[in-house]
Amino acid sequence: MKKFVTLICLLALTTFASAQDRANAPDREFKPFKVDVSLGFAVPAGSGSKGGVLFALEPKYAVSDQIAVGLRLEAAAVARAVGDGVSAEVKAIVSYALTGDYYFSTNKSRLFAGLGAGLYQFAAATVTEQDQNQPLDESRIDAYSKFGVVPRVGAELGHFRAGLEYNLVPKMGEVKNSYFAVKLGVLIGGGKYNK
């Protein structure tokens, strides 16, 4: 509940600050505050992995028309296998990452490249290992956290956003934590000023 209240306060502050900033920065092309809301498909690393869905929310502030910084909050649900007699299933991955994007133009439609870094939390992981000469060995990991980075590229077309990301997260034992994401979303705020 605290995270939800914090998010609502952040959105209200963003809306108020955006209105104030418009009067103070008429030389800029784009409004500095925006929130990206995205849905996508997550594909975990490792043979036998199965993709899942993800949802991301990312409030941002544009330092200039070509550089934006933000905080990405993302939740993904995936299932995956590790290989040769060892399998793993992760029900949910939640991440909090500080991000930065560079836009290659100031047109209404523009390409970007970015980088993020932050904390990834994995919950309800089950690991099963079977050796041909040994009985089934099953263990459960309720939760663990890892630090990771996320390089990304994409395009913004007006108030629509499409992106490709690779969440590079270290392994937990034999369990691979990295995953590739394809996202489509909308931008709330951040459009061009009416001049």
Q: What is the tally of structural domains in the chain?
A: 1
pLDDT in tens, 46-96: 776 788 999 999 999 999 999 999 999 999 998 765 555 555 676 789 999
Q: pLDDT > 90: what percent of the chain?
A: 51
Q: Which residue has the tokens 């993302």?
A: 74
pLDDT in tens, 101-124: 999 998 889 999 999 999 999 886
Residue 195 lies in a domain: no
Residue 38 lies in a domain: yes
> Residue 69: which CATH number?
2.40.160.20
Predicted confidence band of residue 40 (pLDDT cuts 50, 70, 90):
very high
pLDDT at 22 over 50: no
pLDDT in tens, 136-156: 556 666 688 999 999 999 999
What pLDDT was estimated at residue 29?
87
Q: Distance (Å, rounded) from C-alpha 110 to C-alpha 113?
A: 10
- The token duo for 191 is 């459009």
Full domain range(s) for residue 120: 2-189
Residue/partner pairs of 61-66 with CB below 8 Å, 24 or more apart: 61/32, 61/33, 62/30, 62/31, 62/32, 62/33, 62/34, 62/190, 63/32, 64/28, 65/28, 65/29, 65/30, 65/103, 65/106, 66/102, 66/103, 66/104, 66/105, 66/106
Residue 194 lies in a domain: no
Residue 93 lies in a domain: yes
Residue 180 lies in a domain: yes
Task: State the amino acid at position 51 in one-letter form.
Answer: G
Which of residues 188 and 193 earns the better pLDDT score? 188
Q: Which helix (H) or strand (E) holds 42?
A: strand 33-44
